[in-house]
Amino acid sequence: MPINETLSQYSNWLYTTTVAIYVIALMLTLVEQGFGAKGRQAAERSKQRVRELVGAGGPVTTETPAEPEPPREVGRPERVGRMGAALLVLGALLQLSAIVLRGLATHRAPWGNMYEYGMAVTFITVVAWLVVTWKFPVRHLTPFLLLPVVILMFVNGTMLYTVAAPVQPALQSYWLVIHVAAAIIGSGVFLVPGVASVLYLFRSAHDRDPAKFARFAPKLPAADVLDRIAYRTTIFAFPVFTFGVLCGAVWAESAWGRFWGWDPKETVAFIAWVVYAAYLHSRATAGWRGTRAAVINIVGFAATIFNLFFVNLVTVGLHSYAGVS
């Protein structure tokens, strides 16, 4: 079937609009993060929250309903932050439309090349972050997540852009839908614990020595909250990523003649998998919890980014059908 140029054009416009909206959301939430005492209050709130979640601080759940949230001071930075969050939701919807239109334009799963893959991964990251802000009071951290997302989307839209086209025969398989979707969800969600772990390092360094990052770190939530966010997103993404790798092996068996051949992409996926496995083990090992676990998670984050870009753009392997030459 021929490519629908009109839909593809709309998809491109939506993509550009999404980036613009994310930039505005980034600036608005940056106001909330930067000005106002909101950050510090958020830190206080999240401390209470973590006690409830962890349930380690003694009897919390009693006959009396949970204590009401402290009355919210709706200051200006907070209102601006809410606007930013609303824009973030709007941006995510636009990005979803861009992905769907791309799929309709090409009559296939809209993740057949690097550009489409990057578009979908950043979408998943934003959605994962929206879920996190819904469960944890960390909306004011949005800028730290949006910054890498915006950079990735900019690079993706300028350097890696590929015109809508059908995919080559090797990719014409239902495994494209399953394997790549799992890889996208896994990688997309993995960016969230990466950012949370970086923030964790700042916060825990400050907790050990209050002179460090004295202006920045107090606005972050408690280290426990960041650790929890990193852990819960990782244990969601890790099985999905594992599933993606396994499906990739099954697909490789029918497309390339072997289920595992140490192709660069396979190798780096293996490395990222091992690093995240180390992260999960480290949280169960005395002396490795906390900072070391966070560092391991950041290494996993680096491996994921490396796998997203470097492997496809620099090395030559079987996964080099990125549409970039």
Partner 1 sequence: MTTTETPKKPNHTTPVKRVLAFLRNTWRGLTSMRTALVLLFLLALAALPGALLPQRRLNAPKVDEYITAHGWWGTLLDKLEFYDVYSSVWFSAIYLLLMVSLVGCLTPRSFEYFKAMRAKPVLTPRKLARMPHHRVAGVERPVEKVLEEANARLSGWRRVQRDEGDGVHSISAERGYLRETGNLVFHFGMLGLIVFFALGKLFSYEGQVIVQADGSQFCNGGIYNYDSFNAGLRVDGTEMAPFCLKVDDFDARFTAAGQADYFHSNIQYQAGEDLKSGTWRPYGLEVNSPLRVDGVRVYLLDHGYTPKFTVTFPDGSVRTMATQWRTAVPATMTAEGATKFDQPGITDEVQRRTRQLAVTGLLAPTPQLHGGILTSVGPELNNPQVAVDIYRGDLGLDAGRGQSLFEIDQSRVADGRLKKMTRLNMQVGQVTTLDDGTKVKFDGVGQWVGLQVSHDPTQVYVLGFAIAMFVGLGASLLVKRRRLWVRVRPGGEGEAGTVIEVAGLARTDQAGYGEEFQRISERLITGEKGS
Q: Contact residues for partner 1 (CB under 8 A)?
A: 52-56, 58-63, 165-166, 168-170, 172-173, 175, 228, 231-232, 235, 238-239, 242-243, 246, 249-250, 253-264, 267-268, 270-271, 274-275, 277-278, 280-282, 284-288, 303, 311, 315, 317
Q: Which residues does 110 contact at the CB level (< 8 Å), separation at least 6?
A: 99, 100, 102, 103, 116, 119, 120
CB of 127 to partner 1, least distance (A): 20
Smallest gap from residue 126 Cβ to partner 1 (A): 22
Task: Please state the closest distance from residue 107 (CB atom) to partner 1, in A.
Answer: 12
Looking at beta carbons only, is 68 or 257 nearer to partner 1? 257
CB of 187 to partner 1, least distance (A): 16
Per-residue CA distances from 255 to 41, 182, 250, 322 (Å):
55, 18, 9, 17
Please report, for residues 22, 45, 219, the alpha-carbon distance to residue 160 in angstroms, rounded to integers and kept in the order given.
19, 42, 36
Minimum CB distance to partner 1, residue 189 (Å): 14
**195 versus 303: smaller Cβ distance to partner 1:** 303
By C-beta, is 6 or 168 nearer to partner 1? 168
Cα–Cα distance for residue pair 131/56, rounded to 1 Å? 24
CA-nearest of 234, 315, 313, 299 to 267 is 315
Q: Which is nearer to partner 1, 62 or 158 (CB)?
A: 62
Pairwise CA distance, residues 175 & 152, whole Å: 26
Q: At what angle do helices 291-308 and 223-255 cross, to 10 degrees?
A: 40
Would you say 38 or 108 has its CB closer to partner 1?
108
Q: How far apart are CB 124 and partner 1 at their closest, in Å?
A: 19
Question: Which residue's CB is nearer to partner 1, number 166 or number 218?
Answer: 166
The enclosing H or E element of 119 equals helix 114-135
Provide the b/e sequence for 278-288 (b: ≥16 CB within 10 Å).
bbeebbeeeeb
**CB of residue 212 to partner 1, shortest distance in Å:** 27
Between CA 184 and CA 191, with CA 190 as vertex, the angle to 5 degrees is 100
Report, in Å, the least distance between residue 31 CB and partner 1. Answer: 31
Choice between 91 and 264, CB closer to partner 1: 264
Tokens of 137: 């009071």
Between 206 and 319, name the residue whose CB sits nearer to partner 1.
319
Cβ atoms of 18 and 99 within 8 Å: the answer is no
Radius of gyration in angstroms for the set of CA atoms belonging to the chain, rounded to a whole number: 21
